[in-house]
Amino acid sequence: MRRQFGGGYLLNWGPHIVEPAYWLLDTTVVSVCGFLQQALHCGDCEDTFFAQLDLANGSRALVEHTICPHPLPRWVIQGRAGAVLVDGDTIKIAEVEMDPASMEIAPNSMPVAIPCVTHDEPCPGPRYGDQTTIYRQLEVQLREGGVTGFDSGSALHLSDVLDAIRLSDEQGKGIKIPLD
Protein backbone atom coordinates (compact mmCIF):
# COMPACT_ATOMS: atom_id res chain seq x y z
CA MET A 1 0.00 0.00 0.00
CA ARG A 2 2.98 2.30 0.51
CA ARG A 3 5.58 3.08 -2.14
CA GLN A 4 8.34 3.64 0.44
CA PHE A 5 8.02 -0.05 1.38
CA GLY A 6 8.05 -1.30 -2.23
CA GLY A 7 4.27 -1.60 -2.42
CA GLY A 8 1.98 -1.60 -5.41
CA TYR A 9 0.35 -4.13 -7.66
CA LEU A 10 3.03 -3.83 -10.35
CA LEU A 11 5.61 -5.42 -8.06
CA ASN A 12 3.09 -7.72 -6.35
CA TRP A 13 1.24 -9.13 -9.38
CA GLY A 14 3.42 -7.85 -12.23
CA PRO A 15 5.81 -10.82 -12.40
CA HIS A 16 2.88 -13.26 -12.57
CA ILE A 17 1.13 -11.31 -15.33
CA VAL A 18 3.95 -9.67 -17.32
CA GLU A 19 6.52 -12.46 -17.67
CA PRO A 20 4.19 -15.15 -19.08
CA ALA A 21 3.18 -12.71 -21.83
CA TYR A 22 6.64 -12.99 -23.40
CA TRP A 23 7.50 -16.49 -22.12
CA LEU A 24 4.63 -17.88 -24.19
CA LEU A 25 6.30 -16.51 -27.32
CA ASP A 26 9.83 -17.51 -26.22
CA THR A 27 11.22 -14.00 -26.69
CA THR A 28 12.23 -10.87 -24.76
CA VAL A 29 10.81 -7.37 -24.39
CA VAL A 30 12.50 -4.52 -26.32
CA SER A 31 10.29 -1.62 -25.23
CA VAL A 32 7.27 -0.86 -23.07
CA CYS A 33 4.61 1.76 -22.64
CA GLY A 34 2.98 1.59 -19.22
CA PHE A 35 0.15 3.15 -17.28
CA LEU A 36 -0.38 2.87 -13.51
CA GLN A 37 -3.32 4.14 -11.50
CA GLN A 38 -4.56 4.07 -7.94
CA ALA A 39 -8.26 3.32 -8.38
CA LEU A 40 -9.69 1.87 -5.16
CA HIS A 41 -7.18 1.10 -2.44
CA CYS A 42 -5.75 3.42 0.18
CA GLY A 43 -2.04 4.23 0.39
CA ASP A 44 0.01 5.86 -2.35
CA CYS A 45 0.57 2.95 -4.75
CA GLU A 46 -1.11 1.75 -7.92
CA ASP A 47 -3.73 -0.96 -7.74
CA THR A 48 -4.21 -1.06 -11.52
CA PHE A 49 -1.63 -1.29 -14.28
CA PHE A 50 -1.62 -1.71 -18.03
CA ALA A 51 1.37 -2.09 -20.33
CA GLN A 52 2.08 -2.64 -23.99
CA LEU A 53 5.14 -4.83 -24.47
CA ASP A 54 6.93 -4.70 -27.83
CA LEU A 55 8.76 -8.01 -28.23
CA ALA A 56 12.02 -8.91 -29.95
CA ASN A 57 10.23 -11.23 -32.41
CA GLY A 58 7.98 -8.39 -33.65
CA SER A 59 4.93 -9.41 -31.61
CA ARG A 60 3.12 -7.16 -29.18
CA ALA A 61 1.60 -8.17 -25.84
CA LEU A 62 -0.86 -6.22 -23.72
CA VAL A 63 -0.81 -6.97 -19.99
CA GLU A 64 -3.21 -5.67 -17.41
CA HIS A 65 -4.11 -5.95 -13.74
CA THR A 66 -7.49 -4.36 -13.14
CA ILE A 67 -9.54 -3.84 -10.02
CA CYS A 68 -13.09 -4.41 -11.21
CA PRO A 69 -16.36 -4.99 -9.35
CA HIS A 70 -17.45 -7.47 -12.06
CA PRO A 71 -15.44 -10.68 -12.50
CA LEU A 72 -13.26 -10.71 -15.61
CA PRO A 73 -11.47 -13.68 -17.23
CA ARG A 74 -8.13 -14.41 -15.54
CA TRP A 75 -6.33 -14.67 -18.88
CA VAL A 76 -7.13 -13.71 -22.45
CA ILE A 77 -4.75 -14.74 -25.21
CA GLN A 78 -5.72 -13.45 -28.64
CA GLY A 79 -4.08 -14.37 -31.91
CA ARG A 80 -4.80 -14.44 -35.61
CA ALA A 81 -6.37 -17.89 -35.51
CA GLY A 82 -8.55 -17.39 -32.44
CA ALA A 83 -8.51 -16.73 -28.73
CA VAL A 84 -8.13 -18.50 -25.39
CA LEU A 85 -9.96 -17.31 -22.27
CA VAL A 86 -9.16 -18.79 -18.89
CA ASP A 87 -11.94 -18.31 -16.38
CA GLY A 88 -12.08 -20.24 -13.14
CA ASP A 89 -11.66 -23.93 -13.86
CA THR A 90 -12.46 -23.68 -17.57
CA ILE A 91 -10.37 -22.83 -20.60
CA LYS A 92 -12.54 -21.48 -23.43
CA ILE A 93 -11.05 -21.86 -26.91
CA ALA A 94 -12.40 -19.94 -29.91
CA GLU A 95 -10.98 -20.95 -33.30
CA VAL A 96 -11.57 -18.65 -36.29
CA GLU A 97 -13.32 -20.46 -39.16
CA MET A 98 -11.88 -18.28 -41.93
CA ASP A 99 -8.63 -16.61 -42.92
CA PRO A 100 -8.69 -13.16 -41.20
CA ALA A 101 -6.54 -11.76 -44.02
CA SER A 102 -9.41 -12.45 -46.45
CA MET A 103 -11.86 -10.26 -44.51
CA GLU A 104 -12.62 -6.89 -46.05
CA ILE A 105 -13.61 -4.17 -43.61
CA ALA A 106 -14.94 -0.88 -44.94
CA PRO A 107 -13.41 2.29 -43.46
CA ASN A 108 -15.37 3.70 -40.50
CA SER A 109 -17.59 0.62 -40.33
CA MET A 110 -18.70 -1.12 -37.19
CA PRO A 111 -16.78 -4.28 -36.28
CA VAL A 112 -18.42 -7.49 -37.39
CA ALA A 113 -18.49 -10.81 -35.60
CA ILE A 114 -15.86 -13.20 -36.90
CA PRO A 115 -17.22 -16.73 -37.40
CA CYS A 116 -15.58 -19.11 -34.97
CA VAL A 117 -15.97 -22.49 -33.33
CA THR A 118 -15.77 -22.54 -29.55
CA HIS A 119 -15.28 -25.30 -27.06
CA ASP A 120 -14.45 -25.57 -23.37
CA GLU A 121 -11.62 -27.54 -21.81
CA PRO A 122 -11.92 -28.34 -18.11
CA CYS A 123 -8.96 -27.43 -15.95
CA PRO A 124 -9.50 -29.42 -12.74
CA GLY A 125 -7.20 -29.74 -9.78
CA PRO A 126 -5.13 -27.24 -7.83
CA ARG A 127 -4.84 -24.05 -9.87
CA TYR A 128 -1.32 -23.28 -8.65
CA GLY A 129 0.01 -26.82 -8.30
CA ASP A 130 0.21 -29.14 -5.34
CA GLN A 131 1.84 -26.98 -2.65
CA THR A 132 2.96 -30.00 -0.61
CA THR A 133 4.85 -31.40 -3.61
CA ILE A 134 6.30 -28.00 -4.54
CA TYR A 135 7.70 -27.37 -1.04
CA ARG A 136 9.07 -30.93 -0.75
CA GLN A 137 10.91 -30.47 -4.06
CA LEU A 138 12.27 -27.11 -2.90
CA GLU A 139 13.49 -28.65 0.38
CA VAL A 140 15.32 -31.42 -1.51
CA GLN A 141 16.97 -28.91 -3.85
CA LEU A 142 18.11 -26.70 -0.98
CA ARG A 143 19.52 -29.63 0.99
CA GLU A 144 21.31 -31.08 -2.04
CA GLY A 145 23.12 -27.99 -3.20
CA GLY A 146 20.80 -25.20 -4.11
CA VAL A 147 17.97 -24.39 -6.42
CA THR A 148 18.43 -25.45 -10.04
CA GLY A 149 16.64 -24.18 -13.10
CA PHE A 150 16.87 -20.52 -12.07
CA ASP A 151 18.04 -18.15 -14.78
CA SER A 152 19.40 -14.91 -13.29
CA GLY A 153 19.42 -13.30 -16.76
CA SER A 154 15.69 -13.93 -17.11
CA ALA A 155 15.05 -12.51 -13.64
CA LEU A 156 17.11 -9.41 -14.44
CA HIS A 157 15.20 -8.92 -17.70
CA LEU A 158 11.88 -9.12 -15.83
CA SER A 159 13.15 -6.55 -13.30
CA ASP A 160 14.09 -4.23 -16.19
CA VAL A 161 10.64 -4.69 -17.75
CA LEU A 162 8.83 -3.88 -14.48
CA ASP A 163 11.09 -0.85 -13.88
CA ALA A 164 10.44 0.33 -17.45
CA ILE A 165 6.66 0.07 -16.99
CA ARG A 166 6.84 2.34 -13.92
CA LEU A 167 9.29 4.71 -15.64
CA SER A 168 7.05 4.90 -18.72
CA ASP A 169 4.11 5.92 -16.54
CA GLU A 170 6.19 8.55 -14.72
CA GLN A 171 7.65 10.04 -17.92
CA GLY A 172 4.59 9.60 -20.12
CA LYS A 173 6.52 7.94 -22.94
CA GLY A 174 7.69 4.54 -24.16
CA ILE A 175 10.87 3.12 -22.63
CA LYS A 176 13.45 0.94 -24.42
CA ILE A 177 14.98 -2.13 -22.78
CA PRO A 178 17.64 -2.74 -21.60
CA LEU A 179 17.51 0.34 -19.43
CA ASP A 180 20.47 2.70 -19.66
Taking only the tens place, the pLDDT of each residue in 136-163 is: 888 888 888 766 666 778 889 999 999 9
Residue 109's CATH number? 3.30.360.10
The domain containing residue 137 runs over which residues?
3-176
Average pLDDT in the chain: 85
Write down the pLDDT at residue 61. Answer: 92
Is residue 77's pLDDT more than 90? no
Write down the pLDDT at residue 104. Answer: 66
Is residue 107's pLDDT more than 80? no
Write down the pLDDT at residue 100. Answer: 60
Write down the pLDDT at residue 173. Answer: 97
pLDDT-derived band at 51, boundaries 50, 70, 90? very high
* Cross-strand partners of 75: 86
Domain count, the chain: 1
Long-range contacts of 39-44 (CB under 8 A, 24+ apart): 39/67, 40/67, 41/1, 41/67, 42/1, 43/1, 43/2, 43/3, 43/7, 44/1, 44/2, 44/3
Instruction: Pick the more confident residue, 100 or 25.
Output: 25
Write down the pLDDT at residue 171. Answer: 97
Is residue 105's pLDDT more than 80? no
Write down the pLDDT at residue 97. Answer: 84
Write down the pLDDT at residue 129. Answer: 75
Give the pLDDT mean for 3-14: 87
The overall longest dimension of the chain from CA atoms, in Å, is 64
Contacts of 9 (CB under 8 A, 6+ apart): 45, 46, 47, 48, 49, 65
